Amino acid sequence: MKQINEVNNIQKLLRRQKAYMKGILVMQEKLFDVQSQISELMVKEAKKEKKKERKPSDMLSSKDVCSMFEFSHSTLYRMRMYDGFPYVKVEGRRSVMFNKKDVIEFMAKHKKQGL
């Protein structure tokens, strides 16, 4: 009788161990899934950051020029049309670009004249 109880206790312990092992495997799988998702998100964020990083360029957008000299887009447009503000029409783009050197020279020249 004593041996039967011991065998039953051992069988119960083995079943419990087996259940725990299954639980551990499930948790490991979930952990692996979470780690994979984190890796994917990190890669996506790294790609976004690369896109956001702008290389220094000699060309400026109208937004850059407006923020640089603190005037509106309509003022920039009027300056382009009537005051000879230097700009470059880039093929394949709807908007115009501005050569940084030319813009700075134009503003320095016209600042002296009081434009």
Tens-level pLDDT at each residue, the chain (115 residues): 788 889 899 999 999 999 999 999 999 999 999 999 999 999 988 888 776 665 667 889 899 999 988 989 999 999 999 989 999 987 887 888 999 999 999 988 887 776 5
Look at residue 53 in the predicted model and tell me its pLDDT: 61
Q: Decide: residue 96, CB within 10 A, 0-12 exposed, 13-18 middle, 19+ buried.
A: middle
> Which pLDDT value is given to residue 56?
63
Tell me what pLDDT residue 111 has. 78
pLDDT at 89: 87
What pLDDT score does 54 carry?
57
Taking the CB of residue 71, how many other CB atoms lie within 10 A of it?
13
